[in-house]
A = this chain, B = another copy of it.
Amino acid sequence: MKKLAMGIDIGGTNTAFGLVDEEGTIFCESAISTERYKKFDDYEAYVKTLCESMKALISSVSFDFELIGIGIGAPNANYHKGTIETPANLWKFRDDEPNPDESRRMFYFVDDVKKYFPGVEVLITNDANAAAIGEGVFGNAKGMDDYVVITLGTGLGSGIVSNGEMIYGHDGFAGEYGHIMVDSRATGRECGCGRRGCLEAYASATGIKRTAFELMAKMNCDSELRDTPYSKFEAVMLSMAADKGDAIAKEAFRYTGEVLGKALADLVATTSPKAIILFGGLAKAGKHIFEPTKWYMEENMLATFKNKVDLLPSGIEGENAAILGSSALIWQKQQKK
């Protein structure tokens, strides 16, 4: 019988899910709102709606198949424990709640989904790890035992694979490469984590936007970028401006590539991957981001590793990359059986 795995991508706005076969074909997909259930008390209703919607999707398939498992990618997810822990944008306390105890926001997501799907394997990991497993099973890291996926979205996430295994670390939270410190001075950029100078404050869609605004202050040249306020500014505008030769946009990419390239040279010295895959919104800027990143990575590389590591685009990226990545959690385990 045909085997299919369910992949679920939990985002702050929507939760998308779909049924995927071992070739990476998505047979059908659907989505529910995550935002509608953003309060702490909405969590149970969210799980119920999600599971019932998945059951409806499963019923809609016109042929017989075996559901071999459910893979989930979510922010702050812990593979070892099957939990989502104190996520920044999900199931939050009400603003007027007195002294909310953040430690209560520990959601046993895998167990809760299993209640609706008894006997089905359910696995969860964070979005960057899911992307990394997706690249390994379906994308540009197929057949590699040692590689890294860097997701360049609102923040910078990383999934590090060594000896053919995802590095989850002792507590299940490894791979927070966005929070290595690249500027430890008091003037380092504030990071969402509460510290300063983290890599993701520079190398991410948000990071390059911050750089562009610094450059508008620093440089005197004309630029169409000066017509958009910070609150409306999106990183994709920098790609479009760079295509047209805008000096601020070009310098913003160069600087971002410098910070990211240096950080990747350090990561290579640490884990020596065969390839590093850049994934996510900012990676779509193509040569604008790849060229300076590659140049600074090689420039700062220990001689042993020079010209050995490929810097690659995603091989699964598209609207459904996150569903593919989450389903790959299940397919990867299947391949190892």
Contacts and interface: CB of A to CB of B under 8 A. Distances in A.
Interface in A240-284: 262, 265-267, 269-274
A215 interface: no
Contact of A171 (B147, B267, B272): B272
Interface in A166-225: 167-177, 179-181, 184, 193-195
B273 A303 contact: no
Given A162-B162, A165-B165, A303-B193, A269 B180 contact: yes
B270 A174 contact: yes
Given A184-B262, A184-B300, A169 B162 contact: yes
Contacts of A269: 176-177, 179-180
A193 B302 contact: yes
Nearest to A147: B170
A267 B270 contact: yes
Given A145-B170, A262-B181, A176 B300 contact: no
A231 interface: no
A184 B147 CA distance: 25
Number of this chain's copies in the complex: 2
A103 interface: no
A273 B170 contact: yes
A145 B267 CA distance: 21
Given A169-B162, A171-B308, A270 B300 contact: no
A158 B270 CA distance: 9
A304 interface: yes
A135 interface: no
Contacts of A309: 170
A59 interface: no
- Of the candidates A167, A168, A177, the one having the most CB atoms from chain B within 10 angstroms of its own CB is A167
Interface in A124-180: 144-147, 158, 160, 162-163, 165, 167-177, 179-180
A305 interface: yes
Interface residues of A, number: 44
Contacts of A265: 181
B170 A270 contact: no
Interface string A320-335: 0000000000000000
B272 A179 contact: no
Contact of A181 (B174, B181, B266, B272): B266
Contacts of A170: 144-147, 272-274, 308-309
A144 to B, nearest CB: 8
- Of the candidates A162, A165, A265, the one having the most CB atoms from chain B within 10 angstroms of its own CB is A162
Given A170-B274, A171-B305, A305-B173, A266 B180 contact: yes
A181 to B, nearest CB: 6
17 contacts: A144-B170, A162-B163, A162-B174, A165-B165, A167-B167, A168-B272, A170-B274, A170-B309, A171-B304, A171-B305, A175-B272, A176-B305, A177-B270, A180-B269, A184-B300, A195-B300, A270-B270
